[in-house]
Amino acid sequence: MKKVARLFLVLAIVSAASAAESPRFDVAAPPAVDARSVIVIDMANGDVLYEHDADLVIPPASLTKIMTMMLALDAVDDGRIALTDRIDITKQDATLPYRSSLMYLQEGMSVPFDDLLRGMAVISGNDAALTVARVLAGSTAAFAERMNAEADRLGLTRTRFVEPSGLSEYNSTTAREMATLAREYLLRHPAALADYHSRTTMNFPRADVMPVGVDPPAIKILLQTTNKLLFSYDGCDGLKTGYIDESGYNLVATAERDGTRVIVVTLGGTSGPGGRERSGKALLDWSFSRWRTVKPAAPAPDAVRAWGGASETVSLVYADTPVFTVPASLTGRIDARIEAETEVDAPVAAGTRLGRVVFTSGDSVVRRIDLVAAEDVPQGNLLIRMRDAIIRFFRRVFVRG
């Protein structure tokens, strides 16, 4: 990757429907890393802190399991399956290439669903992923349809899956879309980091899962995580590694320090697991040295007069939570000012933009967040509308005078 001396970053795409806007910041680029495609985003809003060829389509390899894990935990939350449910392992579940990542399921085992999720998260078990797909959807193909439907729902237009493990080179994604997926996963299942992805070992197989008549291993077997950053990087608590020949070495790493959480995605590394680990560390180091997520004091906006409305006023609320990531150099003191309408004509629909809050650090604007109507204010009855029309008429006359 070519190193750039300075990097101008747009942390939010501004459109008519945007709830928040961040300006461009002039921040030194991170060092070059071993990856064809890179993106770094913040957890707070999904703002892009750095990117390099982030839309290059590359097979995700075992990063695919992030989608599989998300759908599996969705099923748990929805009550379609319980973590304690025992899954009978079939011959099909246990028939995979020996060199691929496995938790070494055996036909006839009875494995808690929770163990299958740990097998995916810790040891990247392809056999665990295929078993989860079979249990939840009946077949790998049917589960892949669910994965693609969820990708569509999230707007991931370049992400497609043909199976749930990542073993196939026909799965596809981009660094940008994988970062979006990882953030959605953590928002939807925040406990997954502690429950699954921060664990460094897994005891499997155990006596309680063995087929009838088959003795457990003579010694305790600890399967170790493939994410070595969990051992070497302070604050790292996830998320997933991946490798197949067609993609190279892939990584989604997340870490939190002092309230700042970032997600790093690198795709297409060529220098082995060590190069992948060094790349993740370099990007995390850069993130925490250059950026901070802040929670500044947010002023409460006054209500707006709603002329001709069934209610005299409409309350304003923030369209987005006032938590955002800025360059570390701008975190000393952050002030806020409100720019909002003082009056509007009814009817007013909830969510209508009626102003914004501008956050500044010194002379620099660091964030703008919309203020929107908190509730619907329909037109009032005829008497209310006539009264307000008269008040406004005389107000204009006297103001002119």
CA distance 290 to 262: 12
CA distance 136 to 152: 19
| Apex 131 CA angle, 127 and 137, nearest 5 | 145
CA distance 150 to 33: 31
Describe the chain by its helix, strand, coil percentages, rounded to 5: 30, 30, 40
Catalytic residue (one of 62, 101, 165, 279) = 62
Catalytic residue (one of 37, 65, 168, 240) = 65
CA distance 204 to 103: 7
Clarify whether 295 is annotated catalytic. no
Nearest 10 degrees: Cα torsion 180, 185, 190, 195: -130
Looking at 42-158, list the stretches that DSSP marks H as alpha helix, in order from N- to C-terminal side: 64-77, 113-123, 126-137, 140-153
Catalytic residue (one of 22, 37, 101, 124) = 124
Tokens of 105: 């399921």
For 143-157, letters b (16+ CB in 10 Å) and e give: bbebbbebbeebebe
DSSP track, 249-269: EEEEEEEEETTEEEEEEEEEE
Prior bond to 239 cis, omega within 30?
Answer: yes
Residue 30: DSSP 8-state: P
Clarify whether 65 is annotated catalytic. yes
Clarify whether 62 is annotated catalytic. yes
CA distance 57 to 248: 13
Catalytic residues: 62, 65, 124
